[in-house]
Amino acid sequence: MCGIAGFWGASAASSEALCGLARAMGEAIQHRGPDGRGEFALADVGLALSHRRLAIIDLTEAGHQPMHAASGRWTIVFNGEIYNYLVVRAELERARGGIAWRGHSDTELLIEALDFWGVEGTLSRCDGMFAFAAWDREGGRLILARDRLGEKPLYYGSMPDGTLLFASELRALYAHPSWRGQINRDAVGMLMHYNSIPAPFSVWQGVAKLPPAHWLEVRDRKPGAPKAYWSLVDAMASGADARQQAAGAEAGWVDRFEQVLGEVVEQEMLSDVPLGAFLSGGIDSSLIVAMMQKRASQPVKTFTIGFREDAFDEARFAREVAAHLGTEHHEFYLSGDDALAVVPRIADLYDEPFSDSSQVPTWLVSHHARQHVTVALSGDAGDELFAGYTRYLVGDGFWRRASKVPYPLRRLIAAGVGMVPSRAWDSLGAALGPACPRLLRNSPGDKFARIARMLRERSPAGFYDELISHWKDPATLVPGARLAPLELAESAARAGLSDIEFMQAHDTLAYLPNDILVKVDRAAMAVSLETRAPFLDRRVLEFAWTVPESLKVREGNGKWLMRELLARHVPRSLFERPKQGFGVPLGPWLRGPLREWAESLLTPTALAESGLFDPAPIRRKWNEHLSGQAQWHYYLWDVLMFQQWHQRYRSHIG
């Protein structure tokens, strides 16, 4: 895991001067690679590459970057890990003959593979998380590429003077003298709707994120259109026949799943530095830790963060799983005061506005884990692949019933539900106590308000967008903002997806890379911690899309196949309970320890400062939230995160 940056300009400066500019870009992201740095420049081309190293595999100087191919044709800066690099290395040795390897790093394998197989031939063989920039001296071109699911970030953009800039994080672009930036109003609207800015967009006009599973070619400083080298939709479509044929069959599935996941976990445990895992006590992380402990020669180091508020705390469950598996367990607790200490740092951790509130505990658990390990495995993507989110089951059942009701009647019902104040629903839920339906016990007012909005939708796609989004129409608070829809209907039809599978696909293509993976990458890399997610491996992902829905969803619960596999290693009594997401008590915090901080960012003057917001709808929601009339904490967090980001980075506008 590292950080990369670079540029291709028209400057006729010396190689030393170009390396100096590249070094400044690299220093802006040195947290991604504190173990070393390197630069490379070609004065006659105006190109320079910068690398910050977090040494994980091959800690010797043989892993130093920028790295050059033995032939001299390619020079690369690489961020990430190729988990199957030993397999690809053996294949390359067979195909090419004797290779005088200088070390055993995956970077060296990657650049020699590029030299022999070319870009697509190499990318198609590599399983891992990565982003890289490679200069092709012979072809006079720069190649940018990103992993299949977007675990590692890569931004790029052309400046007004024609200079192409690229980097792992935006802050590196600001360090180059050619940087000029104007805020992308549409992207701010997307942040309000999705609580993140989806690829290929960024908060800056003219700066893009390279989409997952894509690469592009830059010639004469001009980036071409990104090209896909792999498609999740193709994987879903190719698995459609297998899903249909296997429907109703159970024999052998758990064994196959254990074999695939076990092989992946074993590869991802390869490290020349201390390694551990995040453990929430839920099914996903517990399964990863069980697979790790089975293969480890000593107790795996596991890390959990808990909350003082019982409704949000899972630490006790993680403790029980850790005790059963025999891990070396570490747990930490987060209070409102702790959050208040972290919140002012968020704009430094996430240099693009980002508003998933679990960013706070994610950074804290990463910070504590880094005191003990350099690499941590996680259970990310288990929900998306094996139908674990409660919203899949609730949404599917709700839509099936609601769609049978004539639309005018649905609108009438929605109006009635929406007329009841949020605090009245909350009071009713509290009065019912255990008699309140389980899915409505946490913030029932917020959930009934969302139900009212969902009833007004006409299509499954619109229904699901309402189910997962925040501000329905961002233009109401960001005038002029246009929302770019994440349209997957055609892809879903081509892949033969059910409604639940459509929701899974949507989240795998949008929510996972734009939210979950951004959250984890920035939080972990801020403390120089590498994270690895075995469920994101291509082999696990493609296997998951051959599994029929009947082996994922049973008796009102998702992740049936995962549960069956986990039960081989952990007693069901330790994990069979209602799903509890990695959330924080944000609503109470905004009325309590975070209130003064939030108010300072939500005054009419502060809201008007960027020239982007209409303060009125935001102030209305803030006042309703403070009074308890409604639960608008997620909507307000979207605005707060942008406001904080704008205060921190407004000097880079212009």
Annotated binding site for L-glutamine: 106
C-beta atoms surrounding 533 within 10 Å: 25
Rounded (10°) CA dihedral 535, 541, 547, 550: 60
DSSP string, 220-249: TTEE---EES--HHHHHHHTHHHHHHHTT-
Encoded amino acid at 363, one letter? W
60: which residues sit within 8 A by CB, 6+ positions away? Answer: 103
CA distance 474 to 639: 11
What DSSP element (H or E) covers 166?
A: strand 164-167
User: Exposure string (b/e) for 460-476, b if CB count within 10 Å is 16 or more?
Assistant: bbebbbbbbbbbeebbe
- The first and second tokens of residue 290, run together, are 């069980």
Return the structure tokens found at 579: 């799903």
Q: Annotated binding site for ATP: which residue ranges?
A: 305, 378-379
Helix (H) or strand (E) holding 91: helix 85-96
Residues 6+ apart with CB under 8 A from 287: 261, 379, 382, 562, 565, 566, 569
Alpha carbon 281 to chain centroid, angstroms: 20
Q: Active-site residue among 2, 19, 126, 436?
A: 2
Residues 6 or more apart whose Cβ sits within 8 Å of residue 313: 306, 307
Question: How far from the centroid of its chain's Cα atoms is residue 412's Cα?
Answer: 38
Q: Is the CA virtual torsion 217, 7, 30, 39 positive or negative?
A: positive
Can 126 be counted among the known catalytic residues?
A: no
CA distances from 299 to 45, 277, 292, 328 (A): 52, 11, 9, 6
Binding site: what residues are annotated?
A: 106, 305, 378-379
From CA 161, how far away is CA 178, in angstroms rounded? 7
- Residues paired with residue 76 on neighbouring β-strands, in sequence order: 67, 134
Q: How far apart are CA 201 and CA 184, in angstroms?
A: 9
Of 131, 383, 378, 129, the C-alpha closest to 265 is 378
Contact present, 371 and 364 (Cβ < 8 Å) = no
- The answer for residues whose C-beta is within 8 angstroms of residue 50's C-beta and 6 or more apart is 4, 5, 6, 22, 23, 25, 26, 37, 38, 39, 77, 172
Known catalytic residues are 2
